[in-house]
Structure formats: structure tokens, C-alpha cells
Amino acid sequence: MQDRGTEEPVRLGLPHPAVGLIFSMLLAVWTTQALEMSVGKIPFLEAVNGSTVMLPCSYSSCIGIKNLYFNWQFNQNGTMQKVCESVIPSADVVVSDVSIFRDRVEFVGKNDHNNVSILLWNITFEDGGYYTCFGRNPKEKGKNHSAVFHLIVVDEVRVVDNTLPTIIAAAVGGAIALIMGFMLLKNLTLFVLSKLEEKNKECLVTLSGIDNTDNGISGSKADSKPTPKKK
């Protein structure tokens, strides 16, 4: 009969903590090297019908690019339509061969500062919508990324009436200033009154001492008479 008390406990094949740390570091390095497409801090623009606008886009990669493929696409009623496309062999090459698939579109990036922006000439209301700037970098094993820019076409630029917000802000500011002034005046008044009260107390104590001396009250200097000697 086998003695179960001498059996080795079953050990789970858990990875060493160092392995997890190395994996996390490699993942962080890979993330920082990844291709990124950017349309700027403000990813939308409101433009007047008939005007010319630029749709900004730039790329970045910590390890550089090689044969970077990029394109612009327009979302027309849920269908992605290609606007333009090209391949950038390296970062120091000026892009000149760009395929354009849409009227009134001009590529203006020229790869200056990793720029792949485009111009839209004489925009119409049909040009309004979402444009996607897409990039794929073979140097990063085909890593790709995209950014979306929203173009809003209007009849005229709306002028925002700031009269009411200005009045409200002025009223609130004035009320706050009034409250602060009242509190300051109140604290100053209380401070002056406390000082006057302390001064009055000192004056009363001084006057009380003087009255005791003049009236010859026991314990004052007027009672300090020598005791007559007995014969």
C-alpha cells in the first residue's frame, strides 16, 4: 500500500515575477515605439460654405518609418471613401507622388515635419463630415493607427453673443467682492472694538487705584501710619 503522506505536493507552473516585469518593460517599449497619427488638439473645424480649409494630420514614431503607407478617407453615409493615398519611403524623402481620388483635394503635407495634411478647395455642404487619417508602418511589423477629423460646413460663421454670460459673470463677481468687503469691514470693526474695550478696562483699573488712595481705604498708602509707642 502506497504511503500518501510522502507524496510531493502539486506545484502550479506560475511564472517568476521577473518574467512578468521583463514582459511589462518590453510592452512599454513597444508602446512608445508605436506609430501614431494625430489631427491636432482640436479635431474639428467649422468652416463657411465655399471656403478653402486644411485638414491637418501628422505622424510620429520613435523608431522611425520605412515605406510608411498613409491615406485619407471620408465617411459618406457610413461608407468609407478614399480621398488620397501614398507611401513615404523614409522620413527625409519629400512626398510628391500622391494619388487623389476626390475633386478639389490637394496634398500639402510634403512630409515636412511628418506632415500629411490635405487642402479642400471651395468646400460644399456635401464635404462636411468625418475624415480619417490612416497610417501603417512596415518597420513596426505593420503597426497602424488612425485619427478622425470632423469638418462642419455652415452658411456663415455664427457669432456667439456673450452679453448674458458677461452680465452674469459681472454680477457674480460684484456679489463676491461685496461679501468680501463686508467681511473685511466686519473683522476690522470687531478688532477696533476689542482694542477699545481693552483700553477701557485698563483705564478703569487705573482709576480704581487712584480712588482707593485718595479715600484712605485699608490697604492703601493713607493707612500707613506708625504705631504709637507705649510709655
**Confidence (pTM):** 0.58
Residue 20 pLDDT:
54
Tell me: pLDDT of 93 over 60: yes
Query: What one-character DSSP code corresponds to residue 223?
Result: G
In angstroms, rounded to a whole number, what is the distance separating the alpha carbons of residues 33 and 61? 6
Tell me: pLDDT of 230 over 70: no
CA torsion sign for 189, 191, 194, 198 is negative
Residue 208 pLDDT:
64
Of 86-90, 155-159, 213-217, the least confident: 213-217
Mean pLDDT of the chain: 80
Q: How far is CA 180 from CA 115, 136, 177, 187, 229, in A?
A: 53, 59, 5, 11, 75
In angstroms, rounded to a whole number, what is the distance separating the alpha carbons of residues 53 and 125? 13
184 or 100: which leads in pLDDT: 100
Residue 168 pLDDT:
86
Residue 205 pLDDT:
65
- Would you say 102 and 84 are in contact if contact means Cβ atoms under 8 Å apart? yes
194 or 51: which leads in pLDDT: 51
Q: What percent of the chain has pLDDT over 90?
A: 47
**Mean pLDDT calculated for residue range 98-103:** 96
Give the CATH H-level superfamily of domain 35-154: Immunoglobulins (2.60.40.10)
Closest alpha carbon to 42 in 157, 132, 133, 149: 149
Q: How confident is the model at residue 228 (pLDDT cuts 50, 70, 90)?
A: low
**Structure-derived torsion over alpha carbons of residues 63, 69, 72, 78, reported in degrees to the nearest 10:** -100
pLDDT in tens, 4-40: 555 555 454 545 555 454 545 444 444 445 899 999 9
What residues have CB less than 8 Å from 227, skipping those under 6 apart?
none
Residue 47 pLDDT:
96
List the domain boundaries for the chain: 35-154, 163-208
* Cα angle 124-117-131, degrees, rounded to a multiple of 5: 50
Pairing of strands 118-120, 53-55: antiparallel
**Mean pLDDT calculated for residue range 85-91:** 93
104 or 194: which leads in pLDDT: 104
pLDDT in tens, 104-129: 999 998 777 899 999 999 999 999 99
**Mean pLDDT calculated for residue range 176-205:** 80
**Mean pLDDT calculated for residue range 208-222:** 54
* Cα angle 82-156-161, degrees, rounded to a multiple of 5: 125
pLDDT in tens, 140-184: 988 999 999 999 999 986 666 667 777 888 888 888 988 988 888
